Structure 1
Amino acid sequence: MGAILSSRIKDDGKVVFEVSLDYEEATQLKGFMNNIHIFSENVADIKANISQRGKNEATKYFLIPKELRKNMKFNAKTTCQKIETKTKTIFIYVIDKIGL
C-alpha cells in the first residue's frame, strides 16, 4: 500500500504527485509508466456482492451494482487485474463504454 508524499498543480492544470509504494506493489506495474490510475480503497463506498453458483458453488460472479451499470458495453471483451496486498485482494476490471 502506498501514500502520496506531496502534490503540486502545474500551470496547465495537471496535478503532479510524489508517491511512495512498497516494492511489491510497484512491480505490479510491470514497467508501464502511462495509463496509470491512482485510487484509494477508502473511496470504495458502494456495497456490492459476490454470487456463487454451480456444483459446490465453484463459480463466483462479481455483481455490478445497478447505480454503476449505465453506459457499459457488456458484450465486449473485458480485461482484469488482481492486486494483492498484505491484508486484501483488489480486483480491477476494464470495461469499454457504449458509443466509444
Structure 2
Amino acid sequence: MAIKLHSSFAVHPGEWLRTEVVEPHGMSVTGAAERLHVSRQAMSGLLNGRAALSADMAVRFEQAFGVRAETMLRMQVAHDLVAARARVSEVVRAGA
C-alpha cells in the first residue's frame, strides 16, 4: 500500500526558511544573501517561493544556520511532487 503525501505537507522550503530561519535571525533578504555569499536576486527568488532550493543553497544554509541540508532538500522534493501530481490531474481532466 502506497502512502500518499497530503499537499498540506508540501511547504516550499524557501518560504519555510524565510519564516523559521531568516526572519527570526533578524535578517533581511539582502542580509541573508550576503551571509550565504549569493546574489540578492537568488535569495529573493528562493525565500519568496519562486525558485527551487538547490543542493548548493541547502549546504550554504546548513553551514550558516545549522539546518540539515537533507531536511531542506526533502521539503523541496515533497513540494515538487505535489505540484507535479496536480499538473498530471489537470492534464488527465483536460483530455477526458
Q: TM-score range by the shorter chain?
A: under 0.3
User: Normalising by the residue count of structure 2, what TM-score does the alignment of the two structures yield?
Assistant: 0.28
More strand by share: 1
Structure whose residues are more often helix by fraction: 2
- Which structure is richer in relative contact order (CA contacts within 8 A, separation 6 or more)? 2
